[in-house]
Amino acid sequence: MILFPAIDLKDGKAVRLLRGEMDSATVFNESPADQARAFAGQGFEWLHLVDLNGAFEGRPVNAAAVEAILAAVDLPVQLGGGIRDLATIERWLDLGVRRVILGTVAVKNPDLVRDACRRFPGQVVLGIDARGGRVAVEGWAEVSEITATELAQRFEDAGAAAIVYTDIDRDGALQGANVAATRALAEAVATPVIASGGVASLDDIAAFHAIADSGIEGVISGRALYDGRIDPASALALLAA
């Protein structure tokens, strides 16, 4: 199981939000590239990046910060936020992003997601962000009528590399992850699931590790890594056991 440290980008800085609210951003590093180097030095094998401004505006906004991270470290990177067309997907992949995460377009333009999965096999991840079990889009500003499981099952045959499932109500709140909902989603589809939202302690990571055989490929953590609630060495050792 992979532990993905999250670098959320807002106005060129590495931040964390509380439950997806842009006005609740806490800046953790003025230099996202320096943060990426720090995570690489701690032994992480992947990075999870989100262009928060891009998610709201529907186009890449923090491209300079992403490119600086790509230049700073050799780690594979998965990137989401504001990726809404094939040209943007291709550009990011050409620049060195390993996997792109498609969220809003999965609801609003599902054919694009299917086309992207065909054109870029193994490089497209489905981002499913849920508030109260319903899928949220446009930087989590809109909540649809589709449940997370329904959306995941719609793309079961598309060939996505993975699903990043985020429980928005837990995200950044350090209240513990929604292990039950994540397991239910993972068991409902064959696509590997990456858990996100509320991962606040080693206990949360251990809980996901214990159910890895249900289809959990990895766990994303942000705030708890930044403020020291999760020790990177201990977490990585736990997942390697």
- Cα 232 to the center of its chain, rounded Å: 18
The active-site residue out of 11, 94, 129, 227 is: 129
Residues β-bridged to residue 21: 18
Instruction: Please give the Cα distance from 11 to 32 (Å, whole number).
Output: 11
Q: Tell me which of 8, 51, 167, 204 is the catalytic residue.
A: 8
Give one word for 115, left, alpha or beta, with left for phi > 0 and alpha for psi -120 to 50: alpha
CA distance 237 to 209: 12
129 noted as active-site residue: yes
Over the Cα atoms of the chain, what is R_g?
16
196, 171 Cβ separation under 8 angstroms: yes
Contact (CB, 8 A) for 75 and 44: yes
8 part of the active site: yes
Which two structure tokens, joined as six digits, stand for 154?
């719609």
Q: Which run of H or E residues covers position 168? A: none
> Which residues are tagged catalytic?
8, 129
